[in-house]
Structure 1
Amino acid sequence: MIKVLFVCLGNICRSPMAEAMFRDLIKKEGLEGRMVVDSAGTGDWHVGKPPHEGTREILEKYGIDGEGLKARQIAVSDFDEFDYIIGMDAANLEHLTKLVDGKSNIVINRLMDFVPTSMKKDVPDPYFTGDFEETYELVKAGCEALLQQIKAEHSLEG
């Protein structure tokens, strides 16, 4: 079982959007049951809350199921549990690197690291920018590229 964790600041905008989108891609690729996807935030402000209204609206607009998503804070145990931990921006990566403090061999990447042609390396936080459409487009490109890389690394076929 391949386990992927998406991480952003509060776990109400970018990372739950990526979680829902990645689950949707896995389903479309026929890889359900072979991968587990979750999301978390580096902060604890929104623990237990559903995604931001803007995230829910954009997922609904594109027909992606976001049902049952609830914010949680990342835990040190996540570094033993997941194969891929994917941050949305440089600040998330810095926080994750400090949290793991060399205690794990896990590779931590930014989502946009999987899209080398992208001019943006960080997925902007729509909580602050208000631009959920831009975030959606970047998350979509990143999730599609990440899934292709995982499929290649693990010789997965749907």
Structure 2
Amino acid sequence: MISVLFVCLGNICRSPMAEAVLRHQLKERELEEKVSVDSAGTGDWHLGKPPHEGTRSLLDRYGISYEGMRARQVLINDYKAFDYIICMDSANERDVRKVFGSCSEQQTKVFKFMDLLPDKPGNDVPDPYYTGNFDEVYELVSEGCGKLLERIRREHQI
């Protein structure tokens, strides 16, 4: 099974939104048995908490499930457990690479979400915890997850 991990700061806004959206897209294409999806944060402030109310409200609006999702922190073991580790911003990527340290020889498995959207301005997915703009993040996440799914299908012939 191919595995994807989305990473943001607290694992309550951007990365759980991406996890839920990609799961939804996989289910629509009947690929949920071929690709697993998870999310984590670099910080430990929200461990065990459900996604942020803004994320939940937006996902509810689009009929996308976030059932059972709880914040967790990225772990060194995640490097071997996941094929794709996608960070929501530059600081998340830097922090993830610190966690993985010398085990991250294969640097291409860790990359920024906005690398999936090279035609969009900016290097980072804005954090709606601070901006309050969950709709902007959803638009980026929805399009980026579609691009990621295309990439996975191409790289793994599924």
User: Match of 2:103?
Assistant: 103
**Matched residue type, 2:127:** D
Q: How far apart are 1:112 and its partner, in Å?
A: 1.2
1:9 aligns with 2:9: yes
1:123 aligns with 2:125: yes
Q: How far apart are 1:63 and its partner, in Å?
A: 1.1
Question: What secondary structure sits across from 1:95 in the alignment?
Answer: helix
The one-character-per-residue Cα deviations of 1:54-100 (angstroms, maximum 9, x if unpaired) are: 00000011111111110000000000100000000000011011111
Query: Any residues of structure 2 matched to 1:24-43 within 5 Å, and which?
Result: 24-43=24-43
2-side partners of 1:120 and 1:4: how far apart? 23
Stretches of 4+ moved more than 3 A in 1?
none
1-side partners of 2:45 and 2:142: how far apart? 26
2-side partners of 1:116 and 1:24: how far apart? 23
User: Match of 2:54?
Assistant: 54
Mean CA deviation greater in 47-56 or 118-127: 118-127
Question: What secondary structure sits across from 2:40 in the alignment?
Answer: strand
User: Match of 1:143?
Assistant: 145
Question: What secondary structure sits across from 1:79 in the alignment?
Answer: helix
TM-score by length of 2: 0.96
Q: How far apart are 1:110 and its partner, in Å?
A: 0.8
Count residues with an aligned counterpart: 156
Q: How far apart are 1:102 and its partner, in Å?
A: 2.6
**Matched residue type, 2:75:** A
The one-character-per-residue Cα deviations of 1:6-29 (angstroms, maximum 9, x if unpaired) are: 000000000000000000000111
Mean CA deviation greater in 99-108 or 147-156: 99-108
2-side partners of 1:82 and 1:116: how far apart? 23
TM-score by length of 1: 0.96
CA RMSD of aligned residues (A): 0.9
Q: Percent identity?
A: 56
Question: What secondary structure sits across from 2:103 in the alignment?
Answer: coil
The one-character-per-residue Cα deviations of 1:105-152 (angstroms, maximum 9, x if unpaired) are: 252111110111111221000000000000111111111111100110
1:22 aligns with 2:32: no
